[in-house]
Amino acid sequence: MKTVILAGGLGSRLQEFTTVVPKPMIEIGGKPILWHIMEIYARQGHKEFCVALGYKGEIIKNYFLNYYRLQSNLTVTLNHSKVKVHDETGSRNRDLEDWVIHLVDTGAETMTGGRIKRLAPWLQKETFMVTYGDGVANVDIRKLIDFHRGHGKLATVTIVRPPARFGNMQFEGDRIVSFFEKPQMGEGWINGGFFVLEPRVLDYIESDDVSFERAPLENLAKEGQLMAYRHNSFWQCMDTLRDMHYLKELNRKNEAPWKKMEV
């Protein structure tokens, strides 16, 4: 099952950093938060990713294009532009992540729904997962997928309980009956990303300028096709400077819950 990571936004609340790099490339402990998100999935057996690029997407491309070389010893012959990677034993290669990463340009101005829609050729009409490129959690992906397969609906969203500045929703049992993105006031369960989606969800997205959190999720909820997977443990996005420092401090103290999951 492929995992889509939405990594094309402007990250305007972290402008002091995102004028230089896209938000998914802000580092936690020497690795971009994008890498940490991918590692959550890969540790649980899901190692194929479609990264939806937009703002400063070339920086993400360059990171992964050079990833192997940056982890290796090199000999560079400048006047011939030759590079030799020293990996005689193959040990370095075995230590590197065995991930497959599709880096797909989805447009500088495209909204989240449009980015997902543009990835349709890569998803091949199969069930797929989607999450945001700025949030980490200790979500049990196996249980999430089992929950999705068990209810037989088109979409599952992982819901969490942090501060109420994100999307809110109401539900009956596990069925979501209404979805409201980013209310000004309120509290309760919110959209935490970590979606599991059936290919028919793409039919709910009409164009590039559609935000996935608006009409597509609202309509899925109205039709009884959006289900809630409750995650009661750690979840944190990197939406503000305060969030960024909090995640960095957790990692520095070796207390990062998203890295301590038992699988």
Given 3.40.50.150, 3.40.50.620, 3.90.550.10, 3.30.360.10, which CATH number is that of 3-255?
Answer: 3.90.550.10
| DSSP letter for each residue of 98-150 | --EEEEEE--SS--HHHHHHHTHHHHTTS-EEEEETTEEE---HHHHHHHHHH
Of the candidate ranges 31-35, 166-170, 196-200, the one whose mean pLDDT is the lowest: 166-170
The model's confidence at residue 221, banded by pLDDT at 50, 70 and 90, is very high
Paired tokens of 256: 């990062």
For the chain, percent of residues with pLDDT exceeding 70:
90
pLDDT number for residue 165: 53
Q: What is the mean pLDDT of residues 147-169?
A: 83
Q: Is the pLDDT of residue 126 over 50?
A: yes
Q: Is the pLDDT of residue 95 over 90?
A: no
pLDDT number for residue 56: 96
Higher pLDDT, 94 or 141: 141
Quick one: residue 186, left, alpha or beta (phi over 0 = left, psi -120 to 50 = alpha)?
left
Q: What is the mean pLDDT of residues 171-192?
A: 71
Greatest alpha-carbon pair distance for the chain in Å reads 68
pLDDT number for residue 185: 42
pLDDT number for residue 51: 98
Highest mean pLDDT: which range of 131-140, 182-191, 253-262 = 131-140
pLDDT number for residue 94: 58
Q: Is the pLDDT of residue 207 over 80?
A: yes
Q: Is the pLDDT of residue 167 over 70?
A: no
Q: Is the pLDDT of residue 133 over 90?
A: yes
Whether 155 contacts 217, CB under 8 Å: yes
pLDDT number for residue 86: 85
pLDDT number for residue 60: 98
Residues 76-91: tens digit of each pLDDT = 999 988 989 887 555 5
Q: Is the pLDDT of residue 183 over 70?
A: no
d(CA 61, CA 21): 12
Q: What is the mean pLDDT of the chain?
A: 91
Q: Is the pLDDT of residue 163 over 80?
A: no
d(CA 55, CA 116): 15
**pTM attached to this predicted model:** 0.88
The model's confidence at residue 184, banded by pLDDT at 50, 70 and 90, is very low
**Residue 130: how many CA atoms within 13 Å on its side-chain side?**
26
pLDDT number for residue 186: 47
